[in-house]
Amino acid sequence: MNPKELWFTENYCLDARFSMRVDRQVYSSKSRFQQIDVYDTPAFGRVLVLDGCLMLTEKDEFIYHEMIVHPAMAVRPDIKKVLVIGGGDGGCVRELVKYPTIEQIDLCEIDREVIKVSREFLPQTSARMDDIRVELHIADGLKFVRQQKNAYDLIIVDSTDPFGPGEGLFTREFYGNCLSALTENGILVNQHESPYYPGDALACQRAHRQLSAVFGDAYVYQAHIPTYPSGHWLFGFASKSGQDPRVFDGDAWDALGLKTRYYNTALHKGSFALPNYVLELLKNAEGMGY
């Protein structure tokens, strides 16, 4: 490696890491909550890194943001009020505003700097934050959701990993408060970590265990996100009415004519078909003692 070259590396575990070459560092600062870095990279475009963990790249963020939003919207096209917890980069909001039927989007982000930096340096992701239906709340999601009762048809937890500011968003208490914050048939979708490297797999199991304990049935679906640890990422889907997210009207969603680059209704169904080792991991999680 040319010693003059600049690289960003994320450690996936003690024995594996992932690197991308950096053209230049665009931003670097420590907020009250975390270290925020933005780089320009030849392979992935501009990238956002929080506390050394890669949050998004311009090249593949569409996969994550489409997959955290559209499955729930296809299952419940009548969703009107949405709460996004985290998500200060605006990627979820960008996908949500594609639905004219959504009336209100509350975004609860703990770190106002993330919103500021995304607005300034990540226009592709943050461009729709100014939509008239979007209201920003700079607050701790854990506390915010505690005060909401029967208020949202959909809650999307677009958090960091379960360390630092994101930790509380993987707890039973938080999921319990989400349950009370949801309307009758309300849905919760969360980013559910990767099943692959041992530390991530454990986080995945914990999330699944807590979510199932609170909601009863909790479903898990997957996507391929090249720049997240192992490239294999999971999402959680739980609803107040125990709705099976594999059963939905695909033609109705297609008839909306929305433009997506990853999500489609055939993939929606397939995304809930999990590899055996992941099924086993999740099954074992349900019996875990914490």
The residues annotated with a catalytic role in the active site are: 158
Closest CA to 56 of 126, 2, 143, 112: 126
Distances (CA, A) of 124 to 26, 41, 69, 90, 116: 16, 15, 17, 9, 14
Query: What is the per-residue binding string for ligand AG3 in 207-246, x denoting contact by CB under 6 A?
Result: ---------------------xx-----------------
Residue 3 CB contacts under 8 Å (≥ 6 apart), including other chains: none
Q: Which is nearer to ligand AG3, 144 or 228 (CB)?
A: 228
Of 140 and 248, the one with the shorter C-beta distance to ligand AG3 is 140
- By CB under 6 A, residue 91 contacts ligand AG3: yes
**Binding flag, residue 54, ligand AG3 (CB under 6 A):** yes
Q: Contact with ligand AG3 (CB under 6 A): which of 37, 95, 153, 158? A: 158
Span interacting with ligand AG3, options 36-44, 73-81, 85-93, 140-148, rule CB under 6 A: 85-93
Rounded Cα–Cα distance for residues 114 and 123 (Å):
13
Minimum separation from the CB atom of position 232 to ligand AG3 (A): 12
| Interface pick for ligand AG3 out of 71, 87, 165, 186 (rule CB under 6 A) | 87
Return the residues of window 173-202 that contact ligand AG3 according to CB under 6 A. 191
72-111 burial, b at 16+ Cβ within 10 Å, e below that, comes to bbbbbeebebbbbbbbbbbbbbbbbbbbeebeebbbbbbb
Distances (CA, A) of 162 to 169, 179, 199: 7, 20, 11
Which residues would be at the binding site for ligand AG3 (CB under 6 A)? 10, 53-56, 64, 87, 89, 91, 158, 160-161, 191, 228-229
